[in-house]
């Protein structure tokens, strides 16, 4: 029944092939069984693991590197895959089904890889399998977003490859372990991870592609890619001080964009970056408490952000769009989805007794322990901001606000079940944090529910809520407008094409001038009768030229 030393990605990859051959009716059910079996197999056999090695070009690929960190992410990804597959149970598009299985498998492969080469293997696979989930929307916008997404992801892969190669040259080792920020190689790796972790300026692929993916695809996307990057950062760059500042910036800047954004899934994408900021910050601090906080927050984020994306996915599925300006009043016909959304919103805003609270406060506590007061204030501001845009804005504009007159049906049963599962997990972890804490990789005892923490958080939340209510009543809250907001993307979606056109104009003028000049002189020379074809004559001339050059060089070398 259980297979020891089975690399966790294998059930997903093999399952994907089998699923492709199964009749369409059986396929979703079979797919649902894969993460269940895989997760249980991991649970029962991980302590017996000897490691799995594969020889490639004289390098040893470690495909089953088991420690507490990888096992924790292993569990997390199995849970996330199960919930997302359950949410997508009604999907009949084989492209999405297969891509999502392969995508989840690649993420598992990445967290269990013990060397940089196998990490790179799964890193590329993550990009290649996930892009289909965006494409499967099959709209023009989605296709273009997918292309931009893929390019940045492949760029990250290329940087990782270059970094790994250089690292190997420098140290003679490819082990996927603490590296630290020192050499050129480590900087390349750092940027490669940074692209996937959506560092400020490198984040555009996320806010660009996630809102364009299919209703179910975004649920998968939100779970894996960025969390693998967080995992890699925690492995290689724990305690790198630069990460604290990057993390703090990541928590703050998306808030402004999230508040003015109209597409609610894009709002969630921004808040995803904001949550990643907390994790990056925790990794940067590098103490046991902070690292635990970071990975615990990653765990919770997958679930509550997944839940929020699910509720928006359900709305998208029923209504056909998620524009805040054109929604509202959905709570009348989608009461359960509304409830689940509120649970997710409470979790992301770190309400006590919800899962976000127990992990976010760990990072905050670690920050104050290390004496970063100003950064602590930034994160506090970010926490308030999260509550503002994700905690209130999402449920308010989607389900309450002004009545849009839309009366969609309640979400399909499988979606409801998936959201229910995620919501239960949010509350269970929030009220029994020790379940999560015993999985944490570093030794630490931390009690989230003491009086100061709880009170601080509650005050913060209430004042934030008050601000929202007041702004809304005064009519000063930025209205939901039907618009496309460009942030850093402006550089390559507007500035770059404009510059390129200009540059191309100049270059082509120069080139034409040069060509005319050369051709004038060329034609002035005595010439044989034109041969039967242009290309033959051209190539003959080239051969003569190459020969002449070679001969010239060789004669020059003669003594």
Partner 1 sequence: MTSTLFTDHLAAWLVILPLLCAPVMVLLNRSKLVWLLNLVVSASCLIIALHILWDVSTGTVIHYAMGGWTPPWGIEYRIDGLNALVAVIVSAMATACAVYARKSVEQEISVHVHGLFYAAFQLCFLGLLGIALTGDIFNLFVFLEISSLASYALIAMGRNRKALNSAFHYLILGTLGATFFLIGVGLAFAATGTLNMADMALSLQDAANTPLLLTAFALIVVGVALKAAIYPLHLWLPGAYAYAPSVVSVFLAATATKVAIYVLIRCLFSVFEPDYMLDTFLPDILVVLGGVAILYGSLRAIYQEGMKKMLAYSSVAQIGYMVMGIGFLSAAGLTASLLHMFNHALMKGAMFMAVGLFVYRVNTATFDNLKGMGREMPYTFFAMVLAALSLVGVPGTVGFVSKWQLLQAALENRHWGMVMIILLGSLMAAIYVWKLIEVLYFQQPEKLRVQGVSSGSERIGRSPAGMVIALWVMALGCVYFGLDTDLSLHSAQYAVTELLQGRGN
Binding-site ranges for partner 1 (CB under 8 A): 54, 56-58, 117, 120-121, 124-125, 128, 135, 138, 143, 147, 150-151, 154-155, 158, 161-162, 165-166, 169, 531-533, 535-536, 538-540, 542-543, 546-547, 550-551, 553-555, 557-558
* Closer to partner 1 by Cβ: residue 93 or 326: 93
* CA dist., res. 549 & res. 559, Å (int): 18
**Closest approach of Cβ 148 to partner 1, in Å?**
12
* Closer to partner 1 by Cβ: residue 9 or 77: 9
Alpha helices in 486-533 (DSSP H): 489-490, 496-524
Spacing of C-alpha 535 from chain mean position? 49
**Closest approach of Cβ 383 to partner 1, in Å?**
39
**Closest approach of Cβ 239 to partner 1, in Å?**
29
Helix axes 264-285, 241-260, angle to 10 degrees: 160
In three-state form (DSSP H/G/I as H, E/B as E, the rest C), the secondary structure along 365-381 is HHHHHCCCHHHHHHHHH
* Closer to partner 1 by Cβ: residue 144 or 336: 144
**Closest approach of Cβ 547 to partner 1, in Å?**
5
**Closest approach of Cβ 235 to partner 1, in Å?**
19
Q: Report which DSSP code applies to 54.
A: E
Which H/E stretch holds residue 59? strand 59-62
* CA dist., res. 286 & res. 180, Å (int): 11
* Closer to partner 1 by Cβ: residue 188 or 197: 188
* Closer to partner 1 by Cβ: residue 58 or 475: 58
**Closest approach of Cβ 550 to partner 1, in Å?**
4
* CA dist., res. 240 & res. 491, Å (int): 29
Sequence-separated (6 or more) residues with CB below 8 Å from residue 281 = 243, 244, 247, 248, 250, 251, 290, 294, 363, 367, 375, 379
* CA dist., res. 265 & res. 426, Å (int): 20
**Closest approach of Cβ 418 to partner 1, in Å?**
28
Structural contact between residues 79 and 303, judged by C-beta atoms closer than 8 angstroms: yes
* Closer to partner 1 by Cβ: residue 117 or 375: 117
* Closer to partner 1 by Cβ: residue 151 or 465: 151
Residues forming beta bridges with residue 265, ordered by sequence position: none
* Closer to partner 1 by Cβ: residue 450 or 555: 555
* CA dist., res. 256 & res. 207, Å (int): 14
Q: Report which DSSP code applies to 481.
A: -
Residue 206: both structure tokens together: 């996320």
**Closest approach of Cβ 396 to partner 1, in Å?**
37
């Amino acid at each position: 029944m259980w297979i020891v030393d089975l690399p966790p990605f294998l059930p997903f990859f093999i399952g994907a092939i089998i699923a492709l051959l199964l009749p369409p009716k059986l396929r979703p059910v079979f797919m649902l069984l894969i993460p269940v079996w895989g997760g249980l197999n991991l649970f029962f056999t991980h302590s017996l693991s000897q490691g799995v090695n594969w020889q490639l070009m004289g390098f040893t690929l470690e495909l089953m590197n088991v420690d507490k960190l990888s096992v924790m992410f292993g569990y997390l990804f199995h849970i996330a895959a199960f919930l997302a597959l359950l949410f997508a149970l009604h999907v009949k598009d084989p492209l999405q089904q297969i891509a999502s299985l392969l995508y989840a498998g690649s993420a598992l492969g990445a967290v269990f890889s013990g060397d940089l080469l196998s990490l790179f293997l799964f890193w590329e696979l993550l990009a290649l399998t996930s892009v289909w989930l965006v494409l499967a929307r099959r709209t023009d916008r989605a296709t273009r977003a997918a292309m931009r997404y893929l390019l940045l992801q492949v760029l990250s892969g290329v940087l990782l490859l270059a970094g790994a190669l250089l690292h190997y040259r420098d140290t003679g080792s490819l082990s996927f372990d603490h590296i630290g920020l020192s050499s050129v190689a480590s900087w390349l790796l750092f940027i490669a991870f940074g692209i996937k972790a959506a560092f400020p300026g490198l984040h555009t692929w996320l806010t660009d592609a996630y809102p364009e993916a299919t209703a179910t695809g975004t649920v998968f996307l939100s779970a894996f890619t960025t969390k693998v990057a967080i995992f890699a950062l925690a492995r290689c760059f724990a305690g790198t001080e630069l990460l604290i500042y990057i993390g703090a910036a990541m928590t703050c800047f998306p808030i402004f964009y999230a508040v003015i954004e109209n597409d609610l899934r894009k709002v969630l994408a921004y808040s995803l970056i904001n949550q990643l900021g907390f994790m990056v910050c925790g990794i940067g601090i590098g103490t046991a408490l902070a690292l635990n906080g970071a990975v615990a927050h990653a765990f919770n984020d997958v679930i509550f952000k997944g839940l929020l994306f699910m509720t928006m996915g359900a709305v998208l599925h029923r209504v056909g769009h998620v524009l805040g300006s054109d929604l509202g009043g959905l709570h009348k016909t989608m009461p359960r989805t509304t409830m689940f959304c509120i649970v997710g919103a409470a979790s992301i805003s770190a309400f006590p007794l919800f899962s976000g609270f127990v992990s976010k406060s760990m990072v905050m506590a670690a920050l104050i322990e290390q004496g970063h007061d100003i950064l602590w204030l930034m994160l506090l501001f970010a926490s308030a901001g999260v509550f503002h845009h994700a905690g209130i804005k999402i449920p308010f504009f989607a389900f309450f606000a002004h009545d849009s007159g839309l009366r969609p049906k309640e979400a399909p049963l499988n979606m409801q079940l998936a959201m229910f599962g995620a919501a239960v997990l949010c509350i269970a972890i929030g009220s029994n944090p020790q379940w999560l804490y015993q999985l944490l990789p570093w030794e630490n005892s931390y009690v989230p529910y003491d009086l100061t923490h709880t009170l601080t958080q509650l005050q913060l939340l209430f004042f934030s809520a008050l601000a929202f209510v007041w702004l809304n009543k005064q009519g000063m809250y930025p209205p939901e407008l039907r618009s496309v907001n460009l942030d850093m993307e402006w550089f390559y979606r507007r500035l770059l094409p404009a510059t390129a056109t200009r540059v191309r104009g100049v270059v082509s003028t120069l080139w034409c001038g040069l060509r005319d000049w050369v051709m004038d002189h060329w034609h002035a020379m005595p010439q044989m009768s034109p041969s039967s074809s242009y290309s033959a004559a051209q190539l003959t001339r080239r051969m003569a030229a190459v020969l002449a050059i070679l001969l010239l060089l060789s004669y020059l070398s003669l003594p």
